[in-house]
Structure 1
Amino acid sequence: MKFVESSNQAADYLRQAVPIMVKYNIPPNPLNYALWYTYVSNRLPDLNSELDKTLSTYGTCPMMVSEQLFRDHMLRDELESAKEMQTNLIALMNDLNHQADETVRRTNNYSEVLQDSLDALNETEHERLPLESIIQNLAVNTEAISSQTRLFQQRIDEARAEIDALQAELMQTRQDARIDPLTNLFNRRVFDAEIEQLMGTAVAPQITLLIVDIDHFKTFNDHYGHLMGDKVLQYVGKLMKELTQEPSLPVRLGGEEFAVLIPGGGIDQGLALAETLREKIQAIRIKLKKSGEVISSITASFGVAEFRLGESVEDFIGRADKALYCAKATGRNRVERAD
């Protein structure tokens, strides 16, 4: 998306956007500035409508919603950039193809020169070209084919560098310091920012929190190895992604501990999600290739709490943690509701 306003107009839009962001406890990051700058400019009515609905529902604009709206309404330039990257790669491959064709053509020509020179040497002394002429012709064509081969090798090296640069650029666009690389869930940093924002709104928020801990995970790792443990973490992360819908936020807090933050969701919704996850995790079966053993002992415990008006972030998380510890103390593989 292109911003074409004058300096004065841009400053006016910014003066209008900042108070809205402050009022609704929206973090002052570049993405949110762009969203709310566009909102006050009234350039994208569909975006304005979505933002109004979001404020009405949550009393703020949760990070997950902000990012989705940004992708849906404002990423046109980035998509064009991706198309440009693809175009550059196609042009590079076409150039290499042309260079390869030229090298093959020159090679075929050189083969003909070699054959002609061999034929000339086999002719009778009366018909034979002077030896100096044959050698000179070979030398000229040898230099030509060598030059073409060097040129092609140089272009290959350049292409390799260009491809490496494109690959690095692509990887850079995919890297995100907020993503846990093992499970592809958001990490603790995102969780902390999101819960602070939701609980900092002027309107009393409805938020439910699930804290999840895989049972006996250290023992599992010691017995089956960390690679198998990583597979379990990845599978649990996959289940959490599949079973939660935006704006709910599944995260890996660290180690074998996960959480789901449910903005706008009550305790019953949280308990139902926790029970579904518990059953799905309990149903995990992993067959070891070497021994044929089927692992069926994977379970998880859950603590579920709904935010109470006036409590701090620490108290809210603490109640969910306490419920989780209760689930573990009473046999594990359980869902406990916080007091």
Structure 2
Amino acid sequence: MNRDMAVPSMGRETDNSTTTAAPTDVAMAVLTPGEFELFAEIGRPRRVEAGQVLFRRGELGTTMFVIARGAIVLDFGDDLVTKRLGVREFFGELGLLIGDHARSADAIAATDGLLVELRHEEFQRLVDRDPSLVSYFLRRAIMRVVLNEQSLIRRLRRRNQDLEAALDSLYATTHQLNQTEELIRTDDLTGLYNRRGLTLHLQESRTVGMPDTMGLILIDCDRFKQVNDDHGHLVGDRVLQSVANILRSVAGPEDIACRLGGDEFCLLVAASTRQDVMRFADFIVSTVHGLLLIPQSPPTICPVSVGACLVSAKHEWNDWYAHADGALYQAKRLGGNRVHWQDAELTSA
């Protein structure tokens, strides 16, 4: 045996110990003194320097290595365990036994050292020289592969469990954020959009592109203060909920019903003509009229005044509101309990 290959047969140096592998795996990776002596005699010596890369993960290989001096680090990537191999430990055996096997790790020299490199022809000479010794080595090598695969499966299973837990947590957090966002946008009493929700909706619509023309309907409850004074705020709340239900029933999937505050509501509808908008406004007023004909004690609805108009995407909400509020004012001035249409051309407020 080459003098450079000589290594102590008793124990390994502390800095050459495997620090991250399981004990059984370590035992399987170490050659006996007799095995090492034969492998060193038949194999080719190869000096390495610290930091030198022997092969990369995914590269095809046909050689096996035994460490005579120094240490080698095997990096399996991702968050898998890194292994540090020392004297008389071997690696890359599947490349030798299978041929053109894709390496499962990066092999990097941790220190200056000396390796024994075995290719197919050297391994065949080992078989011819001592078949029983090689047979014992192969059984251990196969056991090592099985143990490594089982360990990998366990690690991957744990990673999948961790990933599932992370996804569950992310889903729960997203659901919670969606609920919070919905609460921010929604009026507690009626379930309609509140003013903030309407503002956010308009911002989002402008980002993706809104129709050039829409209909805006403002609704205000007539003599609502008297309902609160005569019957209390709980009855007043039920009246507001009844108005909200009417708006909800008439609103289509592209329409937005909103409680602006107090007893004032609005309905923003997809429409391009006066007739389109008035169909919504007339339905609201006629539905209220029908409910008022039903004897109520205490009341569940009250008369409403409605202002309706067309609005342009070229203008802002304040312009729209001023235009529709002018129509609502006229409906109130005429006694309420009616719709008033604003025909004037919209100009910036």
TM-score (norm 1): 0.45
Structure with max Cα Rg: 2
Higher helix share: 1
Structure showing greater relative contact order (alpha-carbon pairs closer than 8 Å, 6 or more residues apart): 1
